[in-house]
């Protein structure tokens, strides 16, 4: 089971209705220090919008960063029944059973331990590289593939933000 505070943070990121959140709120939701957040803005990992009222982070950037930080199955579990409403169908997780050599299982477990994440997250990350490498072919062969690769770009255009 996911920690209640962690669940609250994930739910806020993915269920937030406005197109942006404040700099401070984004920092707290990601669990980052002020220095980490400023570094992400400086490196342009996250776009900062400055208005006379406040500094804002686009929700799309916040969702993208959350997808980098946490395994999709953990995000989906935290969202519960709301996952079907906010995650595109092609992004939703499903169980895959495969028979692979034991050294590959050991490798995946080792990489997951090194990254303090799950085997599912390591495998998903590696399969994203495969998806990118074959994207021109797969976009034509698999309905919804292009949208899944592009998500969460344009998230506010797709949802009521």
84 within some domain:
yes
Cβ–Cβ < 8 Å for 73, 117:
no
| Total number of domains in the chain | 1
Per-residue pLDDT tens digits for 24-81: 999 999 999 999 999 999 999 899 999 898 899 999 999 999 999 898 999 999 999 9
22 within some domain:
yes
For the full predicted model, state whether its pTM sits above 0.85: no
161 within some domain:
no
93 within some domain:
yes
Residue 39 belongs to what domain range?
A: 4-155
56 within some domain:
yes
131 within some domain:
yes
Per-residue pLDDT tens digits for 97-156: 999 999 999 999 999 999 999 999 999 999 999 999 999 999 999 998 998 888 887 665
160 within some domain:
no
148 within some domain:
yes
């Amino acid at each position: 089971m996911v920690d209640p505070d962690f669940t609250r943070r994930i739910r806020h990121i993915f269920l937030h209705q406005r197109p942006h959140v404040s700099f401070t709120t984004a920092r707290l939701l990601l669990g980052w220090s002020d220095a980490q957040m400023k570094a992400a803005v400086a490196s342009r990992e996250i776009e900062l919008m400055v208005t006379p009222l406040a500094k804002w982070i686009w929700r799309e950037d916040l969702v993208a960063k959350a997808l980098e930080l946490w395994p999709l199955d953990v995000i989906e579990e935290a969202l519960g029944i709301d996952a079907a409403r906010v995650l595109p169908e092609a992004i939703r997780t499903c169980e895959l059973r495969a028979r692979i050599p034991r050294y590959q299982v050991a490798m995946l477990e080792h990489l997951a331990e090194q990254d303090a994440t799950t085997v599912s997250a390591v495998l998903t990350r590696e399969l994203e590289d495969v998806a990118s490498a074959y994207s021109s072919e797969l976009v034509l062969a698999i309905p919804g593939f292009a949208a899944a690769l592009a998500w969460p770009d344009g998230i506010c255009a797709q949802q009521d933000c």
